[in-house]
Amino acid sequence: MDFGFSDEQRHFQETVRRFATRRLAARYAPDDRRGALDERTLSEMASLGLTGIAIDERYGGQSAGAVTTGIAAEEVAGADFNAAYLLLIPMLVAEVIGAAGSEDQRARMLPPIADGSILPCFCLTEPEHGSDAARLSMRAERVGDEDEADDLRPGGEGWRLSGEKTSISLGMAAQTAVVFARTSEGGARGVSAFYVDLDERYVQRSAFRDLGSRAIGRAAIHFDGLPVPGESLIGGEGEGFIRCMQSFEFSRAIIGLMCLACAGAALEEALAYARERQAFGRPIGANQGVAFPLAEAATLLRGARWVCYEALWRRDAGLPHRVEASMAKWWAPKVAVDAAHQALLTLGHSGYSEELPAGQRVRDLIGLEIGDGTAQIAKLVLARELLGRAYAP
Ligand SMILES: Cc1cc2nc3c(=O)[nH]c(=O)nc-3n(C[C@H](O)[C@H](O)[C@H](O)COP(=O)(O)OP(=O)(O)OC[C@H]3O[C@@H](n4cnc5c(N)ncnc54)[C@H](O)[C@@H]3O)c2cc1C
């Protein structure tokens, strides 16, 4: 058993760490106050290959394996948790296109995502369907050449998308989206995936006023009969939900690492403070009441990190990893929130001030206890794998 990264991965880790420390870290708090990511962040991450990290080299990406993608997510999120969404969401979208798209679709859709000229978003959740996304009600209706929309190829067939998506990360800024919509009745098997331009003539967006991750512009997006050409359908009709769930097996481990890295940064700040801050004539870290919670947090962060990396390692090895990805999704954000909370308490009154990032880290981390599936849903998937579908809740 080898717990280390390869030389190439270590070198890559140092490169991303240097970039994240020098360029991203200082933007973490100001972007939160402005409620938008710094304009330079996307292009800088793209030029380092981070927006197309897992995309095949043939389509302008880095062809990085899952473990290497995890390394990048950790390094970015440790410096600026919200900038890591610029890696996560394009990766999630590209996973669907890469796995299910035709050669022509991959060649057309993936390069602009990889080079950062297009920012996509991932539209699954609806106002009435979050955890039970298989029941989603957004409709894709087939239209033919009698439809007069310019956006359909003359004489060609296409679709019109109607309905409401909500809680979409990067939804205010994205130019394109993978949209999951119903092409027939029948639960999950009636859901198809479309990759579409968010044409403002048919799409209205509104921003959430969020507790955390304010810089990522979470949005509700209303589709008012958006016309899309037939070639927007990714994979076969009715394959969308399966593709979505398969891409979650990747993103859930990446999200775990993002959260743990953010909490790891909070823990480092708390440890430094515990060494320096004096109370009752000695450093506060000399008290077990201060030191032990930090020691416990370090243990839990480490344990959860290896579950995430095991999921990614298994993915690279072509092994099933739904169990590990589900463990990662419920456990890592939880221990991260708990550790970041403990770190804040260690800082005393100054941790409660916006002068320090401790509070922002807690607010931001809570978002990914919910985003991409809650802990309960991750445990539901896990229980099904452990018990067998017939016995699971
Ligand atoms: C920061 C953030 C970013 C997000 N980004 C995106 C995005 O980019 N794209 C996107 O499509 N969505 C996104 N989401 C939405 C997210 O995926 C959903 O919020 C999530 O799946 C839960 O759905 P819901 O909010 O409708 O909760 P509900 O499904 O209504 O659930 C409410 C509560 O009930 C629990 N619950 C529901 N069913 C069960 C059950 N069977 N057993 C036990 N407990 C249950 C849930 O765990 C939850 O605690 C994001 C959310 C957040 C907070």
Average pLDDT across each block of 10 residues of the chain; the chain has 393 residues. List them in order.
Answer: 94 98 98 97 98 98 98 98 98 97 97 98 98 96 77 73 98 98 94 96 97 97 96 95 94 98 98 98 98 98 98 97 98 98 98 96 98 97 95 87
| Same domain, residue pair 158 and 170 | yes
Ligand 1 atom 52 nearest Cα: 371
State which ligand 1 atom lies nearest to the alpha carbon of 123. Answer: 11
Ligand 1 atom 49 nearest Cα: 374
Note whether residue 83 is domain-resident: yes
What's the confidence (pLDDT) of residue 324?
98
| Same domain, residue pair 22 and 135 | no
What number of other Cβ atoms are within 10 A of residue 287's Cβ? Answer: 13
Which residue type occupies 185?
A: E
Ligand 1 atom 42 nearest Cα: 376
| Same domain, residue pair 260 and 312 | yes
The count of domains in the chain is: 3
| Same domain, residue pair 188 and 251 | no
Note whether residue 185 is domain-resident: yes
Ligand 1 atom 4 nearest Cα: 371
Note whether residue 313 is domain-resident: yes
How far is the centre of ligand 1, averaged over its atoms, from the C-alpha of 131 (Å)?
A: 5
How far is the centre of ligand 1, averaged over its atoms, from the C-alpha of 10 (Å)?
A: 35
Q: Which of 97, 114, 131 is the last residue of a domain?
A: 114
Note whether residue 145 is domain-resident: yes
Does residue 218 have its Cβ closer than 6 Å to ligand 1? Answer: yes
Q: Which two tokens stand for residue 291?
A: 């030191």
Note whether residue 392 is domain-resident: no
User: Does an H or E element contain 310, and which?
Assistant: helix 288-316
CATH number of the CATH domain containing 178: 2.40.110.10
| Same domain, residue pair 66 and 107 | yes
How far is the centre of ligand 1, averaged over its atoms, from the C-alpha of 309 (Å)?
A: 24
Note whether residue 71 is domain-resident: yes
| Same domain, residue pair 104 and 151 | no
Does residue 371 have its Cβ closer than 6 Å to ligand 1? Answer: yes
Note whether residue 2 is domain-resident: no
CATH number of the CATH domain containing 345: 1.20.140.10
Does residue 213 have its Cβ closer than 6 Å to ligand 1? Answer: yes
How far is the centre of ligand 1, averaged over its atoms, from the C-alpha of 381 (Å)?
A: 14
Mutate to test the pocket of ligand 1, among 126, 129, 131 (most ligand atoms within 8 A of CB): 131
Range of the domain at 232: 120-238
| Same domain, residue pair 344 and 295 | yes
Note whether residue 311 is domain-resident: yes
